[in-house]
Structure 1
């Protein structure tokens, strides 16, 4: 997954995708660009860059990797590896409709405000789970994506950074 930071109007935003509705896994959910590591990928960073280019058309030369968050295991059995990068605002989108329904951005300052995170409970795989939810405009960010944002928030707001 690529947590893509982009500067707009003198502040940072994060790029999100809404997954295509026909996908087998997590259709219609908000996520970061990214996907499955392939054997030909030289690293997880290269996977995130390649998948971002395939899904929404941001060319590798517009992406500068700056770090990685700890991996996250999801309730649906996936393990994701969030890669953090700056994206040059001169990119142009080229959305692959087979994978992505839409793309939107959220100001980082909104995502750093703990008041915008709400804890919800749900049943998945016959077990009760807690998940963070963040509403922004007409979009609901929840599940693993929201947890990665919470992890990023805690990292950026800690005294260690």
Structure 2
């Protein structure tokens, strides 16, 4: 399958896409359930950071969850969490959680729209909220929830050459999932560049895969 053309990843093209969305179906909608608790509504923010003037410089801001979290500990995730009764809607949940988790202030965020609900194996019904983010923000990650914050080029995530599909038999059921391993160059303790693998998988990779499907079908002209 083709990569999403860079011109279709520009802020203008993304706004146009959500203003007149195509008829489409998400590729992955739910995981094999391994939880007995009641379903919980949740929302995540998919923050597209508008870096530089070149559309190829746009990135997606992601977090690595703290290792002591009760669910999905240590995994790569979008900022987000469960819907509170005080939240007006899923977008309000995503914005509130992004501010609480990483300190991303709402004034830096322009919501474009939502993707269909994705159901995790832990019984979270997650609404992905897609948004553009101005790059002049300052983050203050909450160490109780977030171990690290980093960015991955949007063009990398919207290229299926970087998408891997996995399949395994687990407890008598067949489980399938996507991963999008990304190698980030960072300065090590000795001041030299070293590669850090960001293993994006599970629900986060599935929602990114659906975002790819949303953008690639009948591309914006």
TM-score for the superposition, normalised by structure 1: 0.95
Q: 1:156 to 1:50 in 2, by over 3 A?
A: same
Alignment of 1:48-87 (within 5 A): 48-87=94-133
Cα distance in 1 for partners of 2:171, 2:120 equals 12
From 22, 25, 40, the equivalent of 2:71 is 25
Aligned partner of residue 21 in structure 1, secondary structure: coil
Aligned partner of residue 149 in structure 1, secondary structure: helix
Q: 1:6 to 1:124 in 2, by over 3 A?
A: farther
Mind listing any 5+ residue stretches in structure 1 that lack a counterpart? none
User: What is the aligned partner in structure 2 of residue 134 from structure 1?
Assistant: 180
User: What is the aligned partner in structure 2 of residue 154 from structure 1?
Assistant: 213
User: What is the aligned partner in structure 2 of residue 46 from structure 1?
Assistant: 92
From 51, 65, 71, the equivalent of 1:8 is 51
TM-score for the superposition, normalised by structure 2: 0.70
State the shift of 1:127 in Å.
Answer: 2.4
Aligned partner of residue 42 in structure 1, secondary structure: coil
Structure number with larger C-alpha Rg: 2
Mind listing any 5+ residue stretches in structure 2 that lack a counterpart? 1-43, 184-196
What is the root-mean-square deviation in Å for CA atoms of aligned residues? 1.3
Question: In terms of mean alpha carbon deviation, does 18-27 or 72-81 score higher?
Answer: 72-81
User: What is the aligned partner in structure 2 of residue 92 from structure 1?
Assistant: 138
Cα distance in 1 for partners of 2:158, 2:118 equals 19
1:121 pairs with 2:180: no
Cα distance in 2 for partners of 1:144, 1:160 equals 25
Whether the 8 Å CA contact 1:75–1:124 is kept in 2: the answer is no
Aligned partner of residue 16 in structure 1, secondary structure: strand
